[in-house]
Chains A and B, each alone.
Chain A
Amino acid sequence: MSRATDMRLHRPGTPTGSRKPFRTSPTRAARMALRRIVITALVIVEILPLVWLVLSSFKEESEFSLYPVYSLPRGLHFENYIDAWTTGNIGLYFANSLMVVVPAVLLVIGLCTTGAFALEIMRWRGRNVVLMLFVIGILIPGQMILLPLFTIYFNLGLLDTRLSLILTYTVFGLPLGVFLMVGYYKAVPRELLEAAVIDGATVYQAFRMVALPAVANAVATVALVSFLFIWGDLLVALTFVSSNELRTVQTGLLAFTDQYGQREWGPTFAAISIATLPTLVVFLALNQRVIRGLTAGAVKG
């Protein structure tokens, strides 16, 4: 599948869009109504749990036991958010997540842009084998490398540090990042690079001043996709970090629901909302790019 598909997908009024139902029958109005109902029902099923989440996060604790859980909140109890953020430590976990996710995403970007350039643009024997090694990482379950990493980090004194998370996340982000970047470099016209070289540019200048600007959009997409994956991780954070002070949002949320989840529904809903907030913001701002980035991995594979 080419990227041309992606572009067609997001251009309004593709040929598909203008396709009219071929048959016109007397029951057509009824069929249209049925279609609308089915689609609406689907959208409601997708959205309803999220609406319920947000509404519930503003409820006072007694509302959960007094009224059915689907009823609307009687007021806006922001205290739930304050409780979750402070007493429940979600604020701390949130900051911790940012402190590992941001460096990891930056590292993924730095390593993918340079590595994929060497793999796709430069000519050398064995580059296909090396590319295969990277791509295989997409298939490998995290469980396959956890124990040796635990041993390595234990011996280096890196267990229960942010560095262990940053290193692991970076490497978990590399396979897909390299794979995507190689695909994007493929689309860079060779004439651009040749012109730069004729003008006397070195390889590094050709990389920095020609190739990198040409894939700038793609870099942003890879950054988004890596951010979403790393932000949502549980396995790595659960394995390498045990102290409460270093917990990420996801392991923190798990600990939070263990401790308060059963009884304190309001703060629990607030904590869940906070954990999803960055992904919501990213998606509201850049949804078409997120969709392109996340599906590119599957469509191109």
Chain B
Amino acid sequence: MTALLRDRTAIIVLLGPALALYAAVMLVPIVWTIGYTPFEGSIIGGFTFVGTKNFETLLTDTEFHNALRFSIGYAIVSTVGQVGAGLLLALAYVFWLGRSSTLVRTVVFFPIVLPTVAVSALFVKLFAIAPQYGLLNATLETVGLDALIQPWLGQPATASAALVFMDVWRASGFYAIILFAGLVEVPAEVLDAARVDGARGLTMFRRVLFPFLRPILFTAIIFALVGTLKVFDSVVALTRGGPGSATTPLTLYMFDTSFKYLDYGYGSTIAVALSVLCLVVTLALFRFARGDVDR
């Protein structure tokens, strides 16, 4: 048995194709991108070696700083929104709906399945102001809140808020299912015992549910943070990074730098910065989560 499972030829035959393609299209390009960072130029105009200049530019480039700030702020606010709304939904599923929640869970989950570009195109119409009011502005007009009618996607603050709202709308049902899976693991006896001891509401959550939920809550937060740091499709389709560059994250700044301004070296440098950010966030949270469990 074991001899058969150590068969080198079989390992190569079975794993070879997947690993070869993965190496050629993923692993080699990752290293290659790092290799681009000390250069300036593109495949069309040719490359010149510039040493550490691209990394120095990162420190002084205000557009990079704005994109970095937007990426981080957006990731934090969206994560709080997605996981927070997901947690409230999960609690509602377990304690309010009980047996009948499958249909509600399924319906609320649905938006995450939809293509982001399509969802964004829909929300462009929902937030529209011209040539006619979209769903939001039309509703505000009808209920007499005319003062609130505004070009939602045309102002930096409201455009960012719209983006976050759309992301929370899309993803909260997804996180609700993940956290719901954690909540149903809490043994009924523990809950009953806590209730007998008079725990309810916030105390119940903090003292009884949270310890059970902590590992899965961390997983959800890591997932949400990395997912929102990588945001691209929804930004491009909803706001194009605008107005101006008010909603431009690192992903879009990298894309424009590389393909609009044909600066592969600086584009790669931004990509490396973004990847490092994703890795650091993940590792830091993993370590934090583990330390938390150990204590």
| Chain A residues packing against B (C-beta within 8 Å) | 1, 5-6, 8-10, 12-19, 21-23, 35, 38-39, 42-43, 45-47, 49-50, 52-53, 56, 64-65, 68-70, 110-112, 114-115, 117-119, 121-124, 130, 133-134, 137, 139-152, 154, 167-168, 170-171, 174, 178, 193-194, 197-198, 202-204, 206-207, 228, 231-235, 238-239, 249-250, 253-254, 257, 261-263, 265, 268-269, 271-272, 275-276, 279-280, 282-283, 287-288, 290-291, 294-295, 298-299, 301
Contact = CB atoms under 8 A, between A and B. Distances in A.
A45 B174 contact: no
Contact of A114 (B15, B125, B223): B15
Interface string B83-109: 000000100101111110110111111
B96 A298 contact: no
Contacts of B216: 1, 299
Interface of chain B, helix or strand or loop or mixed?
helix
Contacts of B32: 145, 147-148, 151
B10 A144 contact: no
B180 to A, nearest CB: 7
Interface of B: 1-2, 4-8, 10-11, 13-15, 17-19, 21-22, 25-30, 32-33, 36, 43, 89, 92, 94-99, 101-102, 104-118, 121-126, 131-135, 138-139, 141-142, 169, 173-174, 177-178, 180-185, 188, 191-192, 195, 200, 216, 219-220, 222-223, 226, 229-230, 232-233, 236-237, 250-251, 254-255, 258-259, 264, 267-268, 270-272, 274-275, 278-279, 282
A109 to B, nearest CB: 11
A170 B21 contact: yes
A9 B115 CA distance: 26
Contacts of A280: 114
B92 A299 contact: no
A167 B21 contact: yes
Contacts of B116: 232, 234, 250
Contact of A16 (B4, B188, B264): B188
Nearest to B17: A111
B115 A269 contact: no
A150 B135 contact: no
A298 B215 CA distance: 12
8 contacts: A13-B99, A16-B94, A19-B188, A115-B14, A140-B278, A206-B4, A235-B232, A298-B220
Contacts of A112: 18
A122 B236 contact: no
B62 to A, nearest CB: 20
A207 B133 CA distance: 59
A165 to B, nearest CB: 12
A294 B111 CA distance: 13
A185 B129 CA distance: 53
A139 B113 contact: no
3 tightest CB-CB pairs across the interface, nearest first?
A: A115-B18, A148-B32, A148-B29
Contacts of B26: 137, 140, 145, 171, 174
B21 A111 contact: yes
B14 A207 contact: yes
Contacts of A118: 10-11, 14-15
Contact of B2 (A35, A45, A123, A299): A123
A198 to B, nearest CB: 8
Contacts of A198: 1
Contact of B15 (A130, A231, A299): A130
B120 to A, nearest CB: 9
A249 B33 contact: no
Contacts of A10: 102
A70 B139 contact: yes
A265 B18 CA distance: 44
A270 to B, nearest CB: 11
A203 B10 CA distance: 7
A23 B200 CA distance: 10
A121 B11 CA distance: 10
A250 B115 contact: yes
Contacts of A110: 17
B132 to A, nearest CB: 5
B125 to A, nearest CB: 7
A290 B173 CA distance: 13
A42, A112, A253, A282: residue with the most chain B Cβ atoms closer than 10 Å: A42
Contacts of B124: 257, 261
A124 B7 CA distance: 9
B263 to A, nearest CB: 10
Contact of A276 (B115, B184, B275): B115
A260 to B, nearest CB: 11
A299 B219 contact: yes
Contacts of B220: 298
B138 A70 contact: yes
B248 to A, nearest CB: 13
A281 B114 CA distance: 11
Given A15-B188, A147-B36, A231-B115, A269 B180 contact: no
Nearest to B173: A46
Contacts of B131: 64-65, 262-263
B174 A17 contact: no
Contacts of A207: 14
B21 A291 contact: no
B226 A265 contact: no
